[in-house]
Structure 1
Amino acid sequence: MKPLFPLLIFILLFQYRTFSQNRLPEIRENIPLDSIRLSDPCILADAKTSMYYITGTGGLLWKSKDLGHWTGPYRVVETDPDSWMGPRPMIWAAELHYYKDKYYNFATFTNREVKIDTVQGNVIERRASHILVSDKAEGPYVPMEDPTYLPADKPTLDGTFWVDEDGKPYMVYCYEWLQNWNGTIEKIELKPDLSGSVGKSQLLFKASESPWSRERNDEGDTIPNKVTDGPWLFKTQTGKLGMIWTSWVFGDYTQGVAYSESGTLDGPWIHDEQPFSPPNYGHGMLFRTFEGQLLMAVHSHRVGENGRYIRIPKLFEVDDSGDKLVLGEPFRGNVN
């Protein structure tokens, strides 16, 4: 009998993400952050508009002047119905990045009508990280030159952005465990305007290399967890390159951190022994407020009575003054 826990978790996540993608409630104003249901939150502090924008799974956008009260959601993603994504792709883990006077939307798209593989009885749908562009933070975000960024025969997700020491832009993303049964985090070079990818991807590390993410097999033995999820790159104030990313500690969705010994994406990546976040918080990202305070946005995680994930954005204070991140208290600010 194959280990079923990661697969059951994936099914629940799939149900939640499908639900959040298909719902489009009316625009609401002055909504507290903890009243928003949102998985994989990513916040852009946009200096041009003096506005915070939050997006995530579902691809919708909220905006706020103070991080405390938000207006939205707005539909900001425009895909090509004739592309590999199909007419109604699912959207996961959207991120907004400002680069060279443009705004870019890194997101994972799934076309449920296209099946690319079957592994250990699991049918794998066409899923990949992709990048859209806009002249404004509020969108709309539209496709660019290349129809694909990553191989069509591999399920990839949770793409994020980094400009490495060589001055070149990269997408860092996850190759999903459902196909390789040991999830990875990889990089691929991007064109200067991010309109496509260059060359082949390169492995950064595997899920099994983490000392903190664990699960049990059918015999009850403790083994490395298979899942890689939600990478986000950062540099500390001392110049140390690090990455927060998420996996599982048995039944708890949890975030860890790794640091590059070379100071570049090529690593090697050394993982902290213990998780970075409390249990049942994950898929984090870092941003600075307009006042200069470093915060981490994550989502809380629990399963409701109907079997759907309940995920709510949460902000934590973070200290990056040393060689390693230090997690602080939940951010109070104007959130309450």
Structure 2
Amino acid sequence: MVPCLSQNRNRIKKNIPLDSIVLSDPAILADKATNTYYMTGTGGKLWKSKDLKLWTGPFTVAETNPNSWMGPKPMIWAAELHQYKNKYYYFATFTNREVKIDTAYGNVIERRASHILVSDKAEGPYKPMQDDIYLPEAKPTLDGTFWIDTDGKPYMIYCYEWLQNNNGTMEKIELKSDLSGSVGKGKLLFKASESPWSKEKDSNGNEKAHKVTDGPYLFKTKTGRLGMIWTSWQYDVYVQGVAYSKSGMLDGPWEHEKDIITPPNFGHGMLFKTFEGKTLMSVHSHKKVDGRYHRIPHLFEIDLSGDRLKVVKPYKP
């Protein structure tokens, strides 16, 4: 095994304010065993904090097999931590840029897939399990997250990327009981084009449905309603919306709310509870600085007391 990243050569920083960390797709685990918050995201780095205000990191925690499909130095996107059956699991997207699997709609498709690593501790290290492959080799998949459905079985929910199908989808696949591999085939939940709020314009300036699905995260309201936040675009603005399952199960059907739920240029969210019991949403802000995307973690207070998710206000630790 080798560490996925070169950040072990970086100097560990202490007492860093949350808004001083440059990080896409921030996901936070509130670990009661250590009374510590652990934050992961794109880049594979891990940060930790006792109060959500000041953070220490970045730490190298992910290890992969250099002889696997990932290669010796995979890119890591949208990592998130989940505790399940006394273990900690690292759900992330790994990309091997040296391997090209397809060319579609003018896009060269690199080998990319959602995958899961495991550890006995929240802070890692996270290592591979039994199966080398969870999802089909010929499909680019990303942003895998975790949910236990009403049948009591564990599932990975992930995006099948628009680069290949030109209409990104949200899908699910059953996992083995210890999450060490997948069972059967993936199943379609919904397509990007089904959302009323994700839209773009074609080359003639005509409005059409957008093709991007990004950043799914599942939750339940106090009334037991199953929802999913996910991210796409309104023209050139990065936005996040919500869908609800009419059946209360992953199979849906999924009904999308008309309007976005967070301010423009905030997205790829997830939900967690603080040690004091407050429900928060972790997202990143999105803007261009000198021609490059600049993304910073932010927190919002969330109300789930009714039958729908409501974003209350920004949360300042």
Aligning the two structures, in what range does the TM-score lie when normalised by the shorter sequence? Answer: over 0.9
Task: Report the counterpart of residue 235 of structure 2 in structure 1.
Answer: 250
Q: Which amino acid aligns with 2:304?
A: D
Task: Report the counterpart of residue 279 of structure 2 in structure 1.
Answer: 294
Task: Report the counterpart of residue 14 of structure 1 in structure 2.
Answer: none
Q: Which amino acid aligns with 1:331?
A: Y
Contact kept in structure 1, 2:129 and 2:180, CA below 8 Å: yes
Give the alignment partner of residue 299 of structure 2, picking from 298, 309, 315.
Answer: 315
Shift of 1:120: 2.0
Task: Kindly indicate which of the two structures has a greater share of residues assigned to helix.
Answer: 1
Task: Report the counterpart of residue 124 of structure 1 in structure 2.
Answer: 109
Task: Report the counterpart of residue 208 of structure 2 in structure 1.
Answer: 223
Shift of 1:121: 2.0
Shift of 1:218: 0.6
Q: Distance in 1 between matches of 2:275 and 2:258?
A: 33
Q: Distance in 1 between matches of 2:55 and 2:97?
A: 32
Q: Distance in 2 between matches of 1:277 and 1:330?
A: 10
Secondary structure at the residue paired with 1:39?
coil
Q: Using a 3 Å threshold, how does the CA distance of structure 1 residues 22 and 226 change in structure 2: closer, same or farther?
A: farther
Task: Report the counterpart of residue 126 of structure 2 in structure 1.
Answer: 141
Q: Distance in 1 between matches of 2:252 and 2:6?
A: 39
Q: Distance in 1 between matches of 2:112 and 2:88?
A: 23
Matching of residue 157 in structure 1 with residue 165 in structure 2: no
Matching of residue 268 in structure 1 with residue 261 in structure 2: no
Q: Distance in 2 between matches of 1:267 and 1:147?
A: 30
Shift of 1:325: 0.5
Task: Kindly indicate which of the two structures has a greater share of residues assigned to strand.
Answer: 2
Task: Report the counterpart of residue 74 of structure 2 in structure 1.
Answer: 89
Task: Report the counterpart of residue 328 of structure 1 in structure 2.
Answer: 312
Q: Using a 3 Å threshold, how does the CA distance of structure 1 residues 292 and 79 change in structure 2: closer, same or farther?
A: same
Matching of residue 172 in structure 1 with residue 171 in structure 2: no
Shift of 1:26: 1.1
Task: Report the counterpart of residue 6 of structure 1 in structure 2.
Answer: none
Count residues with an aligned counterpart.
312
Task: Report the counterpart of residue 20 of structure 2 in structure 1.
Answer: 35
Contact kept in structure 1, 2:272 and 2:279, CA below 8 Å: yes
Secondary structure at the residue paired with 1:149?
coil
Shift of 1:208: 0.2
Q: Distance in 1 between matches of 2:6 and 2:252?
A: 39
Q: 1:189-247: per-residue Cα shift (whole Å, max 9, x none)?
A: 00000000000000000000000001000111000000000000000111000000000
Root-mean-square deviation (Å): 0.8
Q: Distance in 2 between matches of 1:34 and 1:74?
A: 18
Q: TM-score, normalised by structure 1?
A: 0.92
Contact kept in structure 1, 2:105 and 2:166, CA below 8 Å: no
Q: Which amino acid aligns with 1:155?
A: P
Shift of 1:122: 1.4
